[in-house]
Amino acid sequence: MKVFYGVAVVAFLMLSGCSAEVGSQAWCKDMEQKSKGDWTANEASEYAKNCILR
């Protein structure tokens, strides 16, 4: 039973750590939901390159 819980925890951590690839359509949507005051300079640059200037 302990092995099951260990596997479940590892699977959860792996799945929750996934985020959209920078520049992808999903990433652009995520950035639109995020407060622009919380964006880093790199995020703003990538957003402009990949989401606005496509």
Looking at residue 39, its pLDDT comes to 97
User: For residues 1 and 8, is the Cβ–Cβ distance under 8 A?
Assistant: no
Looking at residue 5, its pLDDT comes to 65
Give CA angle at 21 (34, 8), nearest 5°. Answer: 90
| Number of structural domains found in the chain | 1
Task: Look at residue 9 and tell me if it is in a domain.
Answer: no
Report residue 5 CA to chain centroid gap.
26
Cα distances from 4 to residues 1, 17, 23, 43, in angstroms, run: 5, 20, 36, 38
Task: Look at residue 35 and tell me if it is in a domain.
Answer: yes
- The tens digit of pLDDT for each residue in 1-54 reads 777 566 655 555 455 568 899 999 999 999 999 999 999 999 999 999 999 987
Task: Look at residue 13 and tell me if it is in a domain.
Answer: no
